[in-house]
Chain A
Amino acid sequence: MAIVETGPVPAAAEEAAAPESTRSTWARLKPTALALIVPLLLLAFWQVATTQHWTRLIPTPYAVAECMVDFAVGGIFDDAYSATLLSHLLASMSRVYGGFALAALFALPIGLMIGRMPWARMLLDPFLQVMRPIPVTAWLPLSMILFGLGAKSAFALVCLGAFYPILLNTVFGVRAVDPKLFEAAAMLGCRGNAQFYKVVLPAAVPSIFTGLRLGLGLAWFVIVVGEMTGVPEGLGAVIMDGRTLSRTELVICGMIVIGLAGYLSDRVVVATGNRLLRWSPNHHG
């Protein structure tokens, strides 16, 4: 067998060989440096705006930093919020991940069904399409009536927020499978229900993954609304309390913590995705 391979080396091998050694320090630092420009400019503007008294309603960056330190480890104001960051963060995280997990538990099977079974699509799709535009904030009163004031209600709202992106992307992933792959599977002896596990599911994984990522993002997004339901602990509750008490620096601290927590949680999801979806040319983000 005289096969002389002239095709290109797999892209992964080429990429792995080149960078590490040849890349300069600047090239490695560039993304971080560029990413910091806008936040630093905003911080500078904030500093100038508050010290020049363009507004008296917004605290200075220093006041917020001081509040953040006190919120995290205490020792400055020693009030009701000193050194409580961790417990509020954990309370919010339990609702975000709990609500997200519950949403995934419902959205994945329903999405797979709608994507694969015409009768399920006819039964559920019109109803879900009408429910979908209703914002989570609109559900707040009803949620408090149904689940009462407190954590259960917050949990339900977060779950609702995460539900639709997971559902829609699952449906899309299942429906977008290349029909050729079903033919290929069939002629290789994989037919009927086996195709669901061997073709539909793996082909839909990138889309499902995108749905989970968006869903988790939205779970963090709606946590403040969820915690407007009168829960004592949680970052959303801290923000609402800060508003009532006119402690704007506390509000901003809560916002920063939510932003960072949501960001870190997304990075973990993306890193997991990059590992699991090495085969997909579209998942190297």
Chain B
Amino acid sequence: MAESATPIVEIKSVSKVFQLQDQKIHALSDAKLSVHKGEFVCLIGASGCGKSTLLRIIAGFEQPSAGEALMWGRPISGPDPTRGMVFQDYALFPWLNVRDNIGFGPAARGLSGAEVKATVDKFIELVGLGKFASAYPHQLSGGMKQRVAIARVLANDAEVVLMDEPFGALDAMTRERLQDELLEIWQRTKLTVIFVTHSVEEAIFLANRVVVMTPGPGRIESDNALDLARPRDVASPEFNAIRRVLAAKLHSHHGKKAA
């Protein structure tokens, strides 16, 4: 258990201020968070609570204005294949077919053609897109695009998968299916997942821990460990009890604003 002593991702008093002309936007204020290997953490909150900013800082796309973001105890200085990002709008390379999109990372890391092919074969099957290997992104449905986006991150040996409202643009049926698939992949691969969502239900269905964030300025309101047995039943009383508690925390800042 030596490994679990050092968190895989650690956020130490991170603040982020965006300068917008002569206005300062406090996107994130004094956030603290430790994520251990193998955890599934959901960041949840209304828009403007800084959840996406926090995720982008962990990804290395943004640098904190104050505080430190660490991976295995070392500062995160920029984007890196160990932290794969799944974007809400997929961000697939439209000129590459499914196979080459998944192979992009392995090829960029300098693997040989045969290794790239073996890796792609493995992950294309994992997400069930074998039949669509040579289709281009514009020919795929939203759900299939997001499967490709997940596969290309996994194919690149990411240790942490960062997901920014990945299922937000999908219809309810597809979303449920992808949630199940994601859980199955997570349980099988012992990945670490940090997942941003604005849906309380999605967070409770997926996560070990739900981090509730509130806006104005963006900050972490509470960090809630969930010990619900899996597979989780959305309709069960336990599930709904947690949902009520989290929803209350989510809206706690409204009262303060009104006062």
Residues of chain B whose beta carbon lies under 8 Å from any beta carbon of chain A:
59-61, 78-81, 83-85, 87, 89, 91-97, 104-105, 108-109, 125-128, 131-132, 135-144, 152-153, 156, 173-174, 177, 181, 184
Contact = CB atoms under 8 A, between A and B. Distances in A.
A279 B96 contact: yes
Q: Closest 7 CB pairs between A and B?
A: A3-B128, A7-B141, A10-B139, A188-B105, A186-B79, A190-B108, A180-B91
Most buried by A among B79, B126, B136: B79
A155 to B, nearest CB: 34
B128 A183 contact: no
Nearest to A202: B95
Contact of B109 (A7, A8, A12, A189): A189
Contact of A1 (B97, B126, B141): B126
A198 B79 contact: no
Interface string A1-30: 101011110111100000000000000000
Contacts of A205: 95
Interface string A256-285: 000000000000000000000011110000
Contacts of B139: 10-13
A245 interface: no
A189 B127 CA distance: 22
Interface string A170-195: 00000000101101111111110010
A278 B136 contact: yes
Contact of A185 (B108, B131, B143, B177): B108
B104 A190 contact: yes
A199 interface: yes
Given A1-B128, A202-B95, A280-B94, A7 B81 contact: no
B94 A1 contact: no
A108 to B, nearest CB: 18
5 contacts: A6-B174, A184-B85, A186-B79, A191-B79, A280-B138
A140 interface: no
Nearest to B128: A3
A7 B184 contact: no
Contact of B61 (A7, A183, A199): A183
Nearest to A183: B61
B240 to A, nearest CB: 27
A203 interface: yes
Contacts of B83: 187
A189 B139 CA distance: 26
A184 B101 CA distance: 11
A279 B108 contact: no
B144 A7 contact: yes
B156 A181 contact: no
A97 B53 CA distance: 52
Contacts of A185: 93, 104, 108
